[in-house]
Structure 1
Amino acid sequence: MASESSEVVLEYPFFKVYKDGHLEFRFPPVAKIPPSDDPDTGVRSKDVVISLDPPVSARIFLPRIPDPARQLPLLLYVHGGGFSIESAFSRNYHNFVSTVAAEAGAIAVSVEYGLFPSRPIPACYDDSWAALRWVAGHAGGDGAEPWLNEHADFGRVFIGGDSAGGNISHTLAARVGSIGLPQGVKVVGVILVHPYFGGTDDDQMWLYMCPANAGLSDPRLKPAKEDLARLGCEKVLMFVAEKDHLMKVGIGYHEELKKSGWKGSVELVKNVGEQHCFHLFDPKYEKAVELKDKFVSFIKNN
């Protein structure tokens, strides 16, 4: 008989669970890069601590500012990674968010939230909400971060994320609609790139990572109609990828949002012939540029 340390009892897309309780991830730990000043785009970045207990941090990107008197739209970005891997500080996410900041002329705050298994779900949701509240706390111009105090237009806030980050972005918008944000802070739009929602084989993995759950009907897994109806933004831009196993549930979210009674507008973009989050791995690829340009245009034109 196999020992408990070598006997696999559960297998999920991102990790295996052994009988003795230890986990084996299918992906190596992600390498993190430091913040920097980009001489090509003029984007500056730095890391900030939002909370020590629980530990929440973020990377802030400030684009070149041709007119110091002009306030800039603000993007809160939530990275993907199956709630268990990746980082706001990885090269792929640093480069993507930095590029969006440069081309949209927006300040971006990329959230470093708690990951399973060290911090099981719902840490990712609570940390991201804490980050949004921290950002909103600068609306009066007296917050802890000078870049936000001096340059952010809190009447033009956007929330965006991909994969798991798309799921978290939805929950943030739902919380904005039900709880609200400080006076003077307005979430104009939400951008969901290949978002994860319930209805695939990944559901059991999510339930395992979230010990306190409401089963397959959990509103974080399967968005509730009442949450959709009060989504706290005016516009939603959604991307789904044709070769992504999450495409069907993404389209389902789009359809349910339109039927919910929500008064905003939603646009669905289908990335034909593409895989899940393809845009992160080859930013110069023609269709990756198209996705990024659409993302940027949504911020610039709203």
Structure 2
Amino acid sequence: MPLDTALETYLTHLAVERGLSVNTLAAYRRDLRRYVDHLKAAGRTSPEQVTEADVEAYQLAARTGADGRSPLSASSSARSVVAIRGWHRFLAAEGLTAADPAREVHPPMAPKRLPKAISVDAVERLLAAVGGADGPGPLRDRALLELLYSTGARISEAVGLDVDDLDLTPGRSAVRLLGKGGKERVVPVGSYATQAVEAYLVRGRPALAAHGRGLPAVFLNTRGGRLSRQSAWQVLRQAGERSGLPGPVSPHTLRHSFATHLLAGGADVRVVQELLGHASVTTTQLYTLVTPDMLREVYAASHPRAR
């Protein structure tokens, strides 16, 4: 069967049997058309002639642009390999080819991205930008951001807090957080966050609660209801804008900064894992990736024959 015929047979299968959308089908056609053109240029005329080496050669050519077209990014290359694997798997399953040459070819691994964190000075600027006003709103916002940075809580965990989840006893302040999968963890609360939360509970929350129905939520909106994730995100975004920090501040900025600053201060990665509520230490280890400059500094300061 000619390559073009085999391609159209598969695309018809995707449209009729699997009911793919027009846009998804167009993406498959675009990826596979480029692949088929590469195979033809290599002298292949039918899928039966394609080898694993051909598939790997195309993957390299597409990533580097050696086939005369724009190089594919890692994500686009991964999508292309998925389409190619699906095509060859279909042809083998239908008996149109004797083997599947793409079975052992896998998409490229996406590079691990360092979680975004900001410096301690930047955190202080962010917290200062909430404002020092004594009204219910500013007191709540300062307490929210102080608590997020002090505990590494997700925004959803913070807005889900009830008053009974707080223990503000001097010297052993802690908060009970309900994480993913309903997993509970108890996290210490620093003195700055403790003071901010106490100030809000005494001077801010009662005024907000007066407009509601007596909800136990720690963080309330102006109607006395529980503060939403979207509203909490807005508080963080506005503080980021007022602080003059470069780039947007995401909901995870303070959580990532919490972890990064703990590890930089010498905290054990497994302790940070428990504080963050990560199921696997592998997730937490993303924060331990360091720059070459940091490696050189640590080496110079630690190795007996570095100097």
Smaller-chain TM-score bracket: under 0.3
TM-score by length of 2: 0.20
More strand by share: 1
TM-score by length of 1: 0.21
More helix by share: 2
Which structure would you say has the larger Rg? 2
